[in-house]
Structure 1
Amino acid sequence: MTTSILDIGAPDTIQVDRLLSGTHRNPHRVLGSHPRPSGTLVRALKPGASSVAVITKDDRYDLSPVRDGLFSGVVPVRLADYRFEVTYSDRVELADDPYRWLPTLGEFDLHLISEGRHERLWDVLGAHVTTIGGVSGTAFAVWAPNAQAVQVLDLPMRRMDPGVWKLFVPGVTAGQRYRFRILGSDGQWRDKADPLAFAADLPSSVVHSSDYVWQDSDWLATRDSTDWSRSPVSIYEVHLGSWRPGLDYRELALQLSEYVTSQGFTHVELLPVAEHPYGGSWGYQVTSYYAPTSRFGTPDDFKYFVDTLHANGIGVIMDWVPAHFPRDDWALARFDGQPLYEHPDPRKGEHPDWGTLIFDYARPEVRNFLVANALFWLAEYHIDGLRVDAVASMLYLDYSRPAGEWVPNPHGGRENLDAVQFLQELNATAYKNHPGVMMIAEDSTTWPGVTRPTDYDGLGFGFKWNMGWMHDDLRYFSRPSRSSWQDEITFSLSYAWSENFILALSHDEVVHGKGSLWERMPGDTSAKAASLRSLLAFMWAHPGKQLLFMGGEFGQRAEWSEFGLDWHLLNDPVHAGIHQLVADLNSRYRSTKALHTNDTSPDGFTWLDVTGDVVAFQRDGDGPTLVCVANLGPTFYESYRIGLPRHGRWREVINTDSAAYHGSNIGNGGSVTTEPVPYHGCLASATLTLPPLGVLWLMPEINADL
């Protein structure tokens, strides 16, 4: 039945003006239900409605219009539960009242946010499907300290210190698209994607609730007890959209697992999967840091992808981009009307190379956003490592800036001390929470101590890409004549143990007119194939872990394209041979402890020979020695003497010129036997047949000593 109300309980004009203009910072003060001596004051804001009634279990109470969609009244009962019946010209809706629920964000959470120390920031900001008082809905929260007002789904939100806006909206379920409408400090309204959205359909954010059940506890336990600096790490770098175009996360999980397993890689590294606007790109222009791209499925589909790779013994590393973000007006840029995530000084806040914005690393809340984001991927998606993009651009204030266009630090130097503090905090926090992950720096500079622990003033990374090795070796192998350029492939050993290195032949080396690895090799088809096989075998024997971008494992001829790899090349015996070699290199690498247990110590490496085009060295560690002999020139040597550290028979465990790899099959018949002839500082030696443009790996037959 319908019961008359006692009075309309109209608020004062100032409160109404603020509410209707969207500038009221505490809409719960006006809207919702408020106990009164005579009953309960109820107000509702329903623009466009002709009438609003309060519906309880037993009664119906009509509210009176105040103005412009605001309705008010005092019902003569104490309300515990109610709904609104809202009448429009074309429909009648039954809706819950968002303003009968006070914000649920706790004081301790707000305190941690204000100090920039909330390690699980994603638990309190963003959109969370939840149930309050038996009512299901979604709790929205966003940090926008400079905003005059914030709305979500056309509903005004409540401001809480330190600038967090909060609202629980009943009835909103997973799949609902939303954006925050923000009245900036400049008086302009902007529609913004949620910085902590868990899913996105750009430019909108999407409410997401996961019900995925992980099956990888054994993998995580093994991972967290592994010392990766002494373990085999062979990484296959993948751009998901162009590896095999058209596959979704679940299809990729099965096909990529099978392929990577057959090739023997220990890990995959994914170019950024956080949501980004342009699908044809590599993904380094991130706009939704907490949302896996929806191009290949849902967030739970991505969890299935990671879980499946773990089930197949494959680790998953993800490229992560804290160095810059794009200027899209619906994303992070000028989020609440003025610089918030970006540094306000363009000399520190704008990137001259990429046209992007740079995070304000001096601001605790911004550092918190980034550190928590790293933890989010490690915790929620079980990612096994983060390769931090463009570290060099973060470390130096003058990066790509001419004199006069950068601001020195307080000591007058060019080092970005705020970025250093951020990176140290990032790595220390990541390893504290997830001791078995790999934090990897893409850094092309000579900054000291990138992989030194933060306790010893290092940046605290676990590994660093060896960009110097990459540039030197690619330059060397691209030369038609190499005998005068040995320093290009030997110089890396002068600093090989200064950091924990990963040797990376990455995506950056197969675009922008550089040509593919195949095209960089000189000569005809046979010479190109032989040189590429030699490069890969030399790389796998060199101290350091390995990373190879997709396509390199079979000699992709063309530069990278968003339209995919030339898989048909595997029908060509030349390319199939390269493919088989990589599988064999990985297999031998994983089973030969000398190739990985002493990667970070000079005790594991000894030069044997550097003469003309021939380079030879031995690797030592736990288990038998491995000797690598590389003849990187066109000369065939029938009897080339090499010192060997042990008497007896040595097996030819890799020969890149083998017929199995479509080489000319020049070699040593599978093994050589030493002579008691001291050479190269060794008590024994052997004469080898060295194929041109070929690399041999030799290992002693332990039970075959003479």
Structure 2
Amino acid sequence: MSLLARLLPLLMVFRSTSPEKAAPVTVRDIDLPVLLPEETVTDLETGPFGTAPGPGAQPPAPEPAGPAAALDPADRERLLSGAHHDPHALLGAHPVAGGVVFRALRPLAEAVAVSVDGTRAALDDLGDGLFGAVLPLDGVPREYTLLVTYQGVEHEAEDPYRFLPALGDFDLHLITEGRHEQLWKALGAEPMEHQGVTGTRFTVWAPNARGVRVVGGFNCWNGTGHPMRSLGSSGVWELFLPAVGEGELYKFEITRPDGGRNVRADPMARRTEVPPATASIVHASHHEWGDAEWMERRPRRQVHTAPFSVYEVHLPSWRPGLSYRELAEELPRYVRDLGFTHVELMPVAEHPFGGSWGYQITGFYAPTSRMGTPDDFKHLIDALHRAGIGVIMDWVPAHFPRDDWALAEFDGRPLYEHGDPDRAAHPDWGTLEFDYGRREVRNFLVANATYWCEEFHIDGLRVDAVASMLYLDYSREEGRWTPNVHGGREDLAAVAFLQEMNATVYRRNPGVVTIAEESTAWDGVTRPTSDGGLGFGLKWNMGWMHDSLVYMSKDPVHRKYHHNEMTFSMVYAYSENYVLPISHDEVVHGKQALVSKMPGDWWQQRASHRAYLGYMWAHPGKQLLFMGQEFAQGAEWSEAHGPDWWLLDPAYGAEHDHRGVRDLVRDLNRLYREVPALWQRDCDPGGFAWVVGDAWEDNVFAFLRYDEEGRPLLAVSNFSPVVRHEYRIGVPDDVPAWREVLNTDALRYGGSDVGNPGPVHPDYPGAHGRPASVVLTVPPLATVWLRPA
């Protein structure tokens, strides 16, 4: 009894299934290797071509029956035009009346033959690169190869269309549900061994496509011979290509619903060409991590009650021209020397235009190739971790560019973006907003967030432009937006997405922190999702940044009229968990570098810069400082040349001009780490108390910070150019003496060296509502910190 006869009852059962409940099933849908013998799919008593060869005899090659291999004209047209949903049903080997039909689609081939168990049979040329023949076999062979002749040279190759799907049903179920938390392991290009053969599995989500083909260097960018199959209602297309491995360039050629075609980079590509080239690259990681101690310790570190001072870096311009591996030699050493606990990297995901600084991303799963490979980037993170430095990464789920080779109308219709053009278009940046209401799009982004944490050991995500996601009317005129179901302006789908992202990241990656750049007064940004909040760990304090810089930019004689700009932050300081950000946004586009915002001559500018940093490091909240501001660079930052490192050259000029400011930042971070009062109770109102908050005529501010044991630090800032002699400040009466531990006016920082060199003893009467007081000499344009002696 032949195999086909044994399978017919099963086929009849499958074919009788209601079409509403299941798609038509062919022999390929049955797991033949499970049902059939190991060597070949044949009748048990016969050889590979239906005869019983004698010992050592080779079976004769059959006469091909060419016309029987011809395709239905409609199938043929769809296959050749790249619009067939199931090319595996046409190509490869299939049982038919009279044997097994073999078909191959090999454009530009002169001849194709099939080899089964060493026996060769030629296939007929059916035109347009199609070859086929019916061979008198009793069953589909488990294994066979194609012998393809190009320009007189024969090449042996595996047939991609003899393989079962390389993506499991459970993966497809999770993708359809929008719940695949490791989506990068299911979609994209995955080098692997499949059915005993080494190659690459290509998968892509394109539910609106009429057909998808893989193109790349391995097929001379002609995808005719490599159409993919649609895996049911998931919208996923799949093809396993034997012998295609790491380093191969590829894209997807998509036949749109209107019949047109376009070529797209892989949305899930883990490596890309160096821009302006746009191809995706097959990649597998070989990096061996050396940060086990860091990763083991990370979950035990609670960011809200730990030191957290961040050095923000634009990697391509920090040291222009350096690769990831070269940066790994310099960046950790520099950041560690200055004492920052973390670096924050402006977006490193692939982006076509360098002038966007990485904020217009096309390759969400690929670190930019401008500085090396993904493994090179891992090497940099590894080096930072081994130096004891955490890594925060800017993450941009708010929008993406319109490049016609990337995500925009990916499969011929709006897919990643909203279907309503008014909702899809970002009004400020000329980009497209994601459709957060579509579960597969949410999955793409949620999985991307955890991808960077799991695959690259990123310690935190700073989420860009959260406000633009939260509001339906963000930067939109009246009539250009539609209220939500409750009549409000909140984007409920975006809220749900952010909650899901935060909950997933924290669940899967203990010790990681998410940080929101959210510029409005949205309630509950850092409240847990279980309590209805967005679930972020920290939020940039844009209000403090704006108000304090407005104050500092005023001439000291006018600062008294803006005194509340410096005190207002404490009205809401504990409404969220805050980071105080002096970021790249504050030192570009005509806003001037931090030191250049300060009024007065060069000495006064540097003094105000130092005093401001001292005030900032003492204020409740975590700190972030953009590169170049740590040494008072006077020019605005430019991504073309990065920081003005030459200012630190001793040959440039006065010893303390710029190096003194950098020395101050080093000391600020050292003391910050050493004094728990400065970070342990950042989120606890009991960790702060005003002493002098109303001395507007003097431009003086003074406050106390307390650690969990009640040990205080006194911070006093004088933002006038006048020395305040014998300035009385109230203090607790349980401290017998105070010692000045930081003075931004110190000579070594470039100051005038006015201060309090010895212990300062409290006396009576008290002041500012305190039982005791101290009398200080407060230097001009300076901040001093005092601790119990």
Aligned partner of 1:604 in structure 2 is: 687
Residue 614 of structure 1 deviates from its aligned partner by 0.6
> Which of these residues, 302, 315, 327, is aligned with residue 227 of structure 1?
302
Aligned partner of 2:169 in structure 1 is: 107
1:555 corresponds to 2:632: yes
Aligned partner of 1:343 in structure 2 is: 418
1:136 corresponds to 2:195: no
> Which of these residues, 5, 10, 25, is aligned with residue 85 of structure 2?
25
* Preserved CA contact (<8 Å) 2:110 2:152: no
Structure 1 counterpart of 2:61, which letter? T
Question: Highest CA radius of gyration, 1 or 2?
Answer: 2
Structure 2 counterpart of 1:47, which letter? P
Residue 673 of structure 1 deviates from its aligned partner by 1.7
Task: Assess, with a 3 A threshold, how the Cα gap between structure 1 residues 133 and 107 changes in structure 2: closer, same or farther.
Answer: closer
Distance 1:484 1:20 in 2: 76
Describe how 1:29-48 pairs up with structure 2 within 5 A: 29-35=89-95, 39-48=99-108
Distance 1:94 1:458 in 2: 60
After superposition, the C-alpha distances for 1:627-663 in whole angstroms (9 at most, x for unaligned) are 0000111111121011122332211110000011011
Structure 2 counterpart of 1:606, which letter? A
Aligned partner of 2:530 in structure 1 is: 455
1:528 corresponds to 2:528: no
Aligned partner of 1:3 in structure 2 is: 61
TM-score by length of 2: 0.87
> Which of these residues, 171, 176, 179, is aligned with residue 243 of structure 2?
171
Residue 402 of structure 1 deviates from its aligned partner by 1.2
Describe how 1:52-63 pairs up with structure 2 within 5 A: 52-63=112-123
TM-score by length of 1: 0.97
> Which of these residues, 656, 662, 665, is aligned with residue 744 of structure 2?
656
After superposition, the C-alpha distances for 1:21-44 in whole angstroms (9 at most, x for unaligned) are 221110000101224575532110
* Preserved CA contact (<8 Å) 2:271 2:281: yes
| Identity over aligned pairs, percent | 56
Describe how 1:427-446 pairs up with structure 2 within 5 A: 427-446=502-521
> Which of these residues, 645, 666, 684, is aligned with residue 583 of structure 1?
666
Q: Which moved more, 1:433-442 or 1:616-625?
A: 616-625
> Which of these residues, 239, 242, 267, is aligned with residue 195 of structure 1?
267
Aligned partner of 1:88 in structure 2 is: 150
Structure 2 counterpart of 1:500, which letter? N
Could you list the structure 1 runs, at least 4 aligned residues long, displaced by more than 6 angstroms after superposition: none
> Which of these residues, 225, 229, 237, is aligned with residue 158 of structure 1?
229
Distance 1:32 1:662 in 2: 78
Aligned partner of 1:675 in structure 2 is: 763
* Preserved CA contact (<8 Å) 2:676 2:707: yes
Structure 1 counterpart of 2:719, which letter? L
1:218 corresponds to 2:293: yes
Distance 1:218 1:662 in 2: 39
> Which of these residues, 259, 267, 282, is aligned with residue 342 of structure 2?
267
* Preserved CA contact (<8 Å) 1:15 1:24: yes
1:73 corresponds to 2:148: no
* Preserved CA contact (<8 Å) 1:28 1:102: no
Structure 2 counterpart of 1:538, which letter? Y
In structure 1, runs of 5+ residues without a counterpart are 702-706
Residue 99 of structure 1 deviates from its aligned partner by 0.5
> Which of these residues, 471, 475, 486, is aligned with residue 550 of structure 2?
475
* Preserved CA contact (<8 Å) 1:647 1:676: no
Instruction: Look up the SS of the partner of 1:199 in the other structure.
Output: coil
Residue 47 of structure 1 deviates from its aligned partner by 1.3
* Preserved CA contact (<8 Å) 1:639 1:689: yes
Q: Which moved more, 1:192-201 or 1:680-689?
A: 680-689
* Preserved CA contact (<8 Å) 2:191 2:283: yes
Instruction: Look up the SS of the partner of 1:577 in the other structure.
Output: helix
* Preserved CA contact (<8 Å) 2:396 2:464: yes
1:569 corresponds to 2:643: no
1:625 corresponds to 2:712: yes
Structure 1 counterpart of 2:681, which letter? N
Residue 90 of structure 1 deviates from its aligned partner by 6.1
Aligned partner of 1:207 in structure 2 is: 282
1:513 corresponds to 2:590: yes
* Preserved CA contact (<8 Å) 1:236 1:260: yes
Instruction: Look up the SS of the partner of 2:669 in the other structure.
Output: helix
After superposition, the C-alpha distances for 1:347-405 in whole angstroms (9 at most, x for unaligned) are 21110100000000111110000000001101111100000000000010111111111
* Preserved CA contact (<8 Å) 2:64 2:121: no
Residue 486 of structure 1 deviates from its aligned partner by 1.1
Instruction: Look up the SS of the partner of 1:265 in the other structure.
Output: coil
* Preserved CA contact (<8 Å) 2:85 2:228: yes
Distance 1:680 1:352 in 2: 50
Distance 1:668 1:221 in 2: 44
* Preserved CA contact (<8 Å) 2:64 2:124: no
After superposition, the C-alpha distances for 1:228-271 in whole angstroms (9 at most, x for unaligned) are 10101000000001101111111111211000000000000000
Structure 2 counterpart of 1:345, which letter? D
Distance 2:715 2:423 in 1: 47
After superposition, the C-alpha distances for 1:597-647 in whole angstroms (9 at most, x for unaligned) are 111111011000131211000001135210000011111112101112233
Aligned partner of 1:704 in structure 2 is: none
Aligned partner of 1:64 in structure 2 is: 124
Distance 2:537 2:334 in 1: 27
> Which of these residues, 760, 765, 777, is aligned with residue 689 of structure 1?
777
Instruction: Look up the SS of the partner of 2:388 in the other structure.
Output: coil
Q: Which moved more, 1:630-639 or 1:665-674?
A: 665-674
Distance 1:670 1:120 in 2: 60
Distance 1:192 1:12 in 2: 30
* Preserved CA contact (<8 Å) 1:140 1:167: yes
Aligned partner of 2:255 in structure 1 is: 183
Residue 6 of structure 1 deviates from its aligned partner by 3.7
* Preserved CA contact (<8 Å) 1:647 1:684: no
Distance 1:162 1:352 in 2: 32
Aligned partner of 1:293 in structure 2 is: 368
Distance 1:221 1:433 in 2: 14
Structure 2 counterpart of 1:339, which letter? P
Structure 2 counterpart of 1:259, which letter? Y
Residue 82 of structure 1 deviates from its aligned partner by 2.5
Aligned partner of 1:125 in structure 2 is: 187
Instruction: Look up the SS of the partner of 2:763 in the other structure.
Output: coil
Distance 1:497 1:546 in 2: 16
Aligned partner of 1:360 in structure 2 is: 435
Q: Which moved more, 1:169-178 or 1:102-111?
A: 102-111
Aligned partner of 2:54 in structure 1 is: none
Distance 2:765 2:680 in 1: 30
Instruction: Look up the SS of the partner of 1:200 in the other structure.
Output: coil
